[in-house]
Amino acid sequence: MDLSTLFRAVAPPSIPPLHSAPSPRSNYITEKDNNIAIECRNLNFLDQKQGKGNSVPILKDCSLSIPSGKLWMLLGPNGCGKSTLLKILAGLLNPTSGSLYVKRPKSFVFQNPDHQVVMPTVEADVSFGLGKLNLTEDEVKCTVSKALDAVGMSAYMQRPVQTLSGGQKQRVAIAGALAEACKVLLLDELTTFLDESDQVGVIKAVKNSLNASDDVTALWVTHRLEELEYADGALYMENGKLSTNVSIPPSSLLLFSMEPSMETSSNHEARMPVLDDSNGYAGLPEEMVALRL
């Protein structure tokens, strides 16, 4: 089928953005230094409990700044507020107070790829969002090819989506965002349901995508310490706060000590850098930084 015909057949009607109108108490920053892709200042979010007349603080005075062209990771235990912060950055939730800026266009990639990869073939799924751009068929094919190449999925262009593994579907979802020239990728625990091989494939796909373009920035939410190996910088969240004073559970320390890249010889001592923006580990507990390096 002619791709341009497919676009006319499946292109969605004009619909409002996923996010609702900003809260009067929130200040959405409209302009920012081009070197900054994501910034939050004193962000708070209260979860309103329906029918109970009370609210629970999920995010507490969170501030962060992420440079353009980098892969940053937001780590922390389950339930600490990581995904809530990511959804606010994506515009899926409104903050209760505070200000934020995210470079546009941006794309949110879901934890479960089956919620995002919906077309019958890889090529059709990656090209789905291009129907609104009024591109020629050759331009569409070139854009799709470049996006799939960036995530290592060029050989799968004609493959039916249902034959792909979970990790391959995640890479197709990322390729779809890249095809639409997204400047910011917001990635919500993409490796949660994947086996080890697919985990590495997805992380490398994101890293390679950023290396291929200085304009793309990614914020990767995870609770897996071992994924820090691929990060340019990291932040740590606990109980809704971004903090440098957080104790790492012994189980997490053991997990990291088992990584093959770690130097476990008694002749080597962990290096303890200063926690600031110059080394990309602002907000990360000292114990974790020592293990990371």
Q: What domains can be seen in the chain, in order of their start residue?
A: 3-10+27-220 (3.40.50.300)
pLDDT at 29: 60
Q: Which residues contact 23 (CB under 8 A, 6 or more apart)?
A: 94, 95, 96
CB burial class (10 A; 0-12, 13-18, 19+) of residue 252? buried
Q: Which residues contact 157 (CB under 8 A, 6 or more apart)?
A: 121, 122, 123, 144, 145, 148
263-290 pLDDT, tens per residue?
A: 333 333 322 233 344 444 444 444 444 3
113 pLDDT band (50/70/90 cuts)? confident
pLDDT at 279: 44
Q: Which of 62, 65, 17 is nearest to 37 (CA)?
A: 65
Q: Is the pLDDT of residue 158 over 60?
A: yes
Preceding omega of 285 cis (within 30 degrees of 0): no
Binning the chain into helix, strand and coil, the percentages to the nearest 5 are 35, 20, 45
pLDDT at 27: 55
Higher per-residue confidence, 212 vs 37? 37
Q: Is the pLDDT of residue 127 over 50?
A: yes
Give the tokens for residue 198: 């697919």
Q: Which is it for strands 233-238 and 36-48: parallel, antiparallel or unpaired? A: unpaired
Give the dihedral sign, CA 7/162/78/250: negative
Does this model's pTM top 0.75? My answer is no
Average pLDDT of the chain to the nearest whole number: 75
